[in-house]
Chains A and B, each alone.
Chain A
Amino acid sequence: MTGATDDEALIRLAQQGDHEAFGHLVERYYRAAYASAYGVLGNSSDAEEIAQETFVQVFQKLDRLREPGAFTSWVWRIARDTALKHIRKHKRIRPVAETPEVESEDRPHTPLIADEEKEQLLAALGEIPEDMREALLMRYWEELEYEEMANRTGVSAAALYQRVCRGLKRLREIIESQSKDAIA
């Protein structure tokens, strides 16, 4: 069972300095921190680095967490902020390509189009409100069911479903407006 109560017990133990409990929490939420960082960086190796850095920070600040129920949102936010700082530190807006720009005979332009599409998606994800982005990435990148998302966040499954629908709609509006700007 990986319910909220279980998490709360692990968080309490970790706050008392229990490394084993913290290790379980990291394993459980590593994908969440990674997905949040990937949403900013678009690069899996950097996202892994940021996910690890996130949990080092989480451990250092754990005694400040007043509401164990807010742990997930807190991890998501730290991961995102750390990723944004990483971009600023390295003076770059966003890495364009995950795949090397090698053109094959079979599909000469596919990687470039895919990269542009990915760039556009990540930029749009960066524009939508945080609660919607979190819900979308949990649902479609972490592939969690609504009940699992509800257990993790303490928000009802119905409310999370609405966030996902609103997030999708908002995402579509932003991508459409990006496309119009690009044509103009």
Chain B
Amino acid sequence: MNNDPDSGFDQTPEGRELIALLAKHAPPQPDSRAGAQAVMARLRAAETPAPRGRLFTMRWLVPLVGAAAAVAIAFVVLSTPPNQTTPNTPPLVSDKDDPAPDTDRRAVVIRHDRAWPEIVGTVRNENAEGVTIDAGLKDGLRVGDTLDGPQNTRVRVIAVGVFESRVSVSGGTLVPGTELRARVTTDAQKRAAQFADFGGDPGAFYQFGALVSALPLSEARMLGISDGAALRVDETIPALLKDAGGAPQSTIAAQLDLRTGDVIVEVNGTNVRNENEFAKALGWSLDPRMLSIRVLRNGKQVDLTLR
């Protein structure tokens, strides 16, 4: 039995009109074989070894630079007076100038690590609700984060969606297309890197309102879960911007009162070992009122449902 009110929309005149529109603007089909050959050629070119002379130079250059760095560090250490304590190096850029109540307030030591992606957003549009930018949860942004625009303009995230955010603007006005860059937010960059590395579909988890990870076996056994089939809730998203013109909506996870630190042991009566099993057990298209999640919270078993 299918209770989804949208089911069958593809058979309605409006649905068929849209299908025709999609077909009309479908891209010309590419030559997959030629494309694959081009990709393999690029990979082979990238793997071609550098000329011997250059490698030879690099082989000597690396230890030389390393040795020079070691000497420099030794000099600094030896020249530091014995009773002087080294103060904590202040961050080069503040993480968040005025963090919102729902953001993580832990002190963060800023490191510039090239492995973390730079967070860039573009102003998409402005309406009665505010200004929308094309960066959101997947880019590591959370409510309270700030981004800088041109000429001392600054935006602050006031509602966040998976792919977009609504922001308040200070210091001037912004037009669509304006590029904004996040003030260095190590946490946000880490979250964005995690999103990029994620093997599953974190977009779906954000829509649900919680990010989870497999509980290490040792921790699971300490909780009495001998087979280790359990997930830890790493982060919950209380509300999500699902429509650029609408209000943020409470996520299913928030409605269930799922909390960070909860250990999920069952979803709809099924054990879950990893993110993929969790996604499958949730069944994104089902009625959330049919969902039941059993968690361990502070050592006690709690059943969460919307019924």
A163: interface (CB < 8 Å) = yes
Q: Which residues of B contact A26 (CB under 8 A)?
A: 32, 35-36, 39-40
B307: interface (CB < 8 Å) = no
Q: Which residues of A contact B25 (CB under 8 A)?
A: 117-118, 121-122
Decide if A67 touches B275 in the complex (CB within 8 Å): yes
B274: interface (CB < 8 Å) = yes
Decide if A19 touches B40 in the complex (CB within 8 Å): yes
A79: interface (CB < 8 Å) = no
Decide if B32 touches A74 in the complex (CB within 8 Å): no
Knowing A136-B22, A165-B8, A166-B6 touch, does A56 contact B177 (C-beta < 8 A)?
A: no
Decide if B26 touches A23 in the complex (CB within 8 Å): no
A-facing residues in B169-190 (Cβ within 8 Å):
176-177, 179
Q: Which residues of B contact A23 (CB under 8 A)?
A: 36, 39-40
Decide if B33 touches A27 in the complex (CB within 8 Å): yes
Knowing A51-B30, A56-B43, A121-B25 touch, does A171 contact B36 (C-beta < 8 A)?
A: no
Q: In the assembled complex, how far is the CB of residue A184 from the closest CB belonging to chain B, in whole angstroms?
A: 11
Q: Which residues of A contact B10 (CB under 8 A)?
A: 164-165, 168
Knowing A118-B25, A131-B284 touch, does A31 contact B177 (C-beta < 8 A)?
A: no
Knowing A130-B162, A131-B203 touch, does A44 contact B30 (C-beta < 8 A)?
A: yes
The one of A19, A122, A163, A166 that contacts B43, using a Cβ cutoff of 8 Å? A19
A93: interface (CB < 8 Å) = yes
The one of A44, A93, A165, A169 that contacts B27, using a Cβ cutoff of 8 Å? A44
Q: In the assembled complex, how far is the CB of residue A151 from the closest CB belonging to chain B, in whole angstroms?
A: 15
A154: interface (CB < 8 Å) = yes
Knowing A67-B200, A88-B179 touch, does A168 contact B30 (C-beta < 8 A)?
A: no
How many A-B contacts are there with CB distance less than 8 Å?
148
Q: Which residues of B contact A159 (CB under 8 A)?
A: 283-285
Q: Which residues of A contact B163 (CB under 8 A)?
A: 130
Q: Which residues of A contact B35 (CB under 8 A)?
A: 26-27, 30, 34, 48, 51-52
Alpha-carbon distance between A108 and B116 when the two chains are bound, in angstroms: 50
Binds A, one of B13-21, B66-74, B76-84, B97-105: B13-21
Alpha-carbon distance between A27 and B285 when the two chains are bound, in angstroms: 31
Alpha-carbon distance between A127 and B100 when the two chains are bound, in angstroms: 27
Decide if A56 touches B42 in the complex (CB within 8 Å): yes
Q: Which residues of A contact B236 (CB under 8 A)?
A: none
Q: Which residues of B contact A118 (CB under 8 A)?
A: 25
A172: interface (CB < 8 Å) = yes
Specify the chain B residue showing the minimal Cβ separation from A84: B134
Q: Which residues of A contact B120 (CB under 8 A)?
A: 88
B146: interface (CB < 8 Å) = no
Decide if A52 touches B22 in the complex (CB within 8 Å): no
B-facing residues in A56-107 (Cβ within 8 Å):
56, 59, 61, 64-67, 69-70, 73-74, 77, 81, 84, 88, 93
Q: In the assembled complex, how far is the CB of residue A25 from the closest CB belonging to chain B, in whole angstroms?
A: 9
A162: interface (CB < 8 Å) = yes
The one of B8, B14, B276 that contacts A70, using a Cβ cutoff of 8 Å? B276
In the A-B complex, list the 3 residue pairs whose CB atoms are closest, starting with the nearest: A66-B199, A30-B32, A27-B36
A sample of 27 cross-chain residue pairs with beta-carbon separation below 8 angstroms, ordered by A number, consists of A26-B35, A26-B36, A26-B40, A30-B35, A35-B27, A56-B39, A66-B274, A67-B276, A69-B276, A93-B176, A117-B24, A129-B162, A129-B207, A131-B201, A136-B22, A140-B22, A140-B23, A141-B26, A154-B276, A162-B2, A162-B6, A163-B285, A165-B7, A165-B15, A166-B9, A172-B15, A177-B245
Seed contacts A66-B199, A117-B24; 20 additional CB < 8 Å A-B pairs: A23-B36, A26-B35, A27-B36, A31-B29, A35-B27, A47-B27, A59-B43, A67-B199, A88-B120, A118-B25, A129-B162, A129-B242, A131-B201, A136-B22, A158-B2, A162-B6, A162-B7, A165-B8, A168-B10, A169-B15
